[in-house]
Amino acid sequence: MSHFEPNDYIRFDLLEKNINIVRKRLNRPLTLSEKIVYGHLDDPANQEIERGKTYLRLRPDRVAMQDATAQMAMLQFISSGLPKVAVPSTIHCDHLIEAQLGGEKDLRRAKDINQEVYNFLATAGAKYGVGFWRPGSGIIHQIILENYAYPGVLLIGTDSHTPNGGGLGGICIGVGGADAVDVMAGIPWELKCPKVIGVKLTGSLSGWTSPKDVILKVAGILTVKGGTGAIVEYHGPGIDSISCTGMATICNMGAEIGATTSVFPYNHRMKKYLNKTGRADIAILADEFKDHLVPDPGCHYDQLIEINLSELKPHINGPFTPDLAHPVAEVGTVAEKEGWPVDIRVGLIGSCTNSSYEDMGRSAAVAKQALAHGLKCKSQFTITPGSEQIRATIERDGYAQILRDVGGIVLANACGPCIGQWDRKDIKKGEKNTIVTSYNRNFTGRNDANPETHAFVTSPEIVTALAIAGTLKFNPETDFLTGKDGKKFKLEAPDVDELPRAEFDPGQDTYQHPPKDSSGQRVDVSPTSQRLQLLEPFDKWDGKDLEDLQILIKVKGKCTTDHISAAGPWLKFRGHLDNISNNLLIGAINIENGKANSVRNAVTQEFGPVPDTARYYKKNGIRWVVIGDENYGEGSSREHAALEPRHLGGRAIITKSFARIHETNLKKQGLLPLTFADPADYNKIHPVDKLTIQGLKDFAPGKPLKCIIKHPNGTQETILLNHTFNETQIEWFRAGSALNRMKELQQ
């Protein structure tokens, strides 16, 4: 599987055996997604298979965790009482490094500030057999692509952008920490059988059009929830014009359309990348089993989209949502019409979506042209290398220096501003401004905690060109810049190598192998720590219906996991459930007053912060519910957005619809994620009402629950609530959580 794990092997023989069993049963051609997913079934001979309906029991090959989510995942694994992980697993330190002064200084500061957390993760990894990538090693998804992903792998990761590995032909799925614990414990992992959306690519990429433009276009077509419950499978002759890391970019941002994951079929571009990253033996094996790593001719897709890459234009999406798509040629005009600031304050390249060698090279090629004409960036400019290997290689090959010369600051090999780890000084909170990034998300306040920052996402080379020009009104395909000598010139589209001509420079060794004998390894969590807290089991269901639930908040509009459990400065509390619960729903808009973090306390009738009100209810034995809108919980995989409401006394979340990962996370923690049978019933509920949920004694798959709405004037209404629980998930609810149920089964 990896040179870091010499005793764990790729089982294409088992994949082939399972695929043949399922193909014989279904008697039809299979998509690539189906081959890899069904090829990992726990019981391929008897598993019920129906796209979009049945739950599959799967055996993933490996688990990956980033440091912000690994804390809670490892705390849950410790609670399970198991001695070692059952599958190859890794922890990656990339989320806790704040961008402030530059790479080396920021890394030193992060190691000092987060020493307690890093020590916990390193010792827990050593104790339980988990590989540990130290801070500075790079972003989890780039490390996985370089070392662990391979065609045909089924990998789960505790980060929503885990689908990045689909660029190397794997099914890589973002999950919450409780799902990771199941797999690390050797328990079959459950996933609702995905539908498959086919995206047929024809033509070829050229000029300023990049792989990023493919997913920006798809996001505009499908919107932020159009991929929910589906795997997006790219195919067609156009894929051969896209590099392996370019395919990873497309799969990575598939998280923004709600897709379970995205994947490309194995081809020569993947083989080239495997060879260059020291895995020629895997490429040889993939060649041998190639028929199982591509879709069958004549396979059926639930939806089909066709994109001609030869006609695709550079795109830029935003602000405030990643599915608001504009051609770069038109965004300036649209911005002026909408009143968005056209002057660009900061351009930021990198992130897990666009930080490959090719990305850095294309940006450097644009910057080099500006320097040749005596120009530097008009906007501030930052660069985030994806890994230590990328950083070392772009330093050696001169790309990093070119990007510095044009005015850029090279940040640490980490997530940084993409996830809000940015100590931004050039504006005040509330100041209206525009930034352009090569990131994946641009939700309100995500990058800098300023709700007035208009963030746009695009390709690294477009970010670089716009940062040089300093305005959204610049189109590099047609517009001219004025050089230092007063002469006008036009930027040429970048044309660079997708991989270095020499071998990659690995840079510093940042990996810690788990020891063969960990019997003497201690994992300490201080009872007085403000960063880490051992978990206490959640209470079991009492066997009764949920009577007179108070409405904590009725949310208006978009409510992402950033709204439910903010990142940025709160990341430091990801291992301490009680402390991080002080950010519960502070970004959500209360329909009653149109404000964030201001809800009515039903007892005192005073308005106050959401977490304080939830704590008041919990202290006084008042159980509560949240009412949400469409696609509730979209965005990050962070299970804290489910742990926090459970910890503070929540019992149910009722919405028009859920994002996949968040819905599962809620179930795992013993909450009830429910949807209105009639979405219009959202309007029947008011923040001052009380709700009773009936039918839990006869809780069964596919059977709706009743909800009685009790209005303050004494009148009542009854509505129906749907759910997607299966038998196993109902057992989680009755036990109080999936972890509680695991312990019951062990006993």
Please list the residue range(s) of the chain that carry CATH number 3.20.19.10. 546-745
Strands (E) across 402-560 are located at 408-410, 433-437, 453-457, 481-482, 488-489, 511-512, 546-554
Q: Is the dihedral of CA 211, 212, 214, 215 positive or negative?
A: positive
Decide: 345 and 470 in contact? Cβ < 8 Å. Answer: no
Chain centre to alpha carbon of residue 552? 27
In tens, the pLDDT along 216-256 reads 999 999 998 899 999 999 999 999 999 999 999 999 999 99
pLDDT of 163 > 90? The answer is yes
Residue 109 annotated in active site: no
Q: Where, residue-wise, is CATH 3.30.499.10 in the chain?
A: 12-195+267-294, 315-476
Selection from 630, 627, 561, 555 nearest residue 597 by Cα: 555
Question: Across all residues in the chain, what is the average pLDDT?
Answer: 96
Q: Which of 141, 326, 638, 646 is catalytic?
A: 638
Whether the predicted pLDDT of 637 surpasses 90:
no
| 213 belongs to the catalytic site | no
Distances (CA, A) of 260 to 225, 233, 273, 735: 11, 11, 25, 27
Q: What is the pLDDT of residue 105?
A: 96
546-745 belongs to CATH 3.60.9.10 = no
Cα torsion 179, 181, 182, 184 to 10°: value is 130
- The catalytic residue among 581, 636, 637, 657 is 636
| pLDDT of 487 higher than 90 | yes
In the sheet that holds 171-174, the strands lie side by side as 171-174, 154-157, 62-66, 89-92, 131-133, 511-512
Active-site residue, from 61, 67, 106, 159 = 159
Second CATH level (architecture) for the domain 315-476: 2-Layer Sandwich (3.30)
Report the distance separating Cα 119 and Cα 123, nearest Å.
Answer: 6
% of residues, the chain, pLDDT over 70? 100
Position 243 scores a pLDDT of 98
629 given a catalytic annotation: no
Convert the pLDDT of each residue in 188-219 to its tens digit.
999 999 999 999 999 999 999 999 999 999 99
Query: In the structure, what pLDDT confidence band is assigned to residue 638 with cuts at 50, 70 and 90?
Result: confident
At 60 the pLDDT is 98
Contact 562, 446 (CB under 8 A): yes
> Percent of the chain scored above 90 by pLDDT?
96
Residue with tokens 């009854």: 718
Options 59, 95, 161, 454, the catalytic residue? 95
Q: Which of 235, 441, 454, 615 is catalytic?
A: 441
Q: Which numeric CATH code is attached to 12-195+267-294?
A: 3.30.499.10
pLDDT of residue 166: 98
Q: Measured between alpha carbons, how far apart are the two ends of the chain, in Å?
A: 34
Catalytic residue among 67, 94, 323, 359, which?
Answer: 94
Q: Residue 437's closest CA among 415, 406, 469, 459?
A: 459
Segment 47-53 mean pLDDT: 96
Q: How many CB atoms lie within 10 A of CB 473?
A: 16
- Count of other CB atoms within 10 angstroms of residue 575: 26
Tens digits of residue pLDDT in 553-564: 999 999 999 999
Q: Among this protein's residues, is 638 annotated catalytic?
A: yes
497: Cβ contacts below 8 Å, ≥ 6 apart: 357, 358, 361
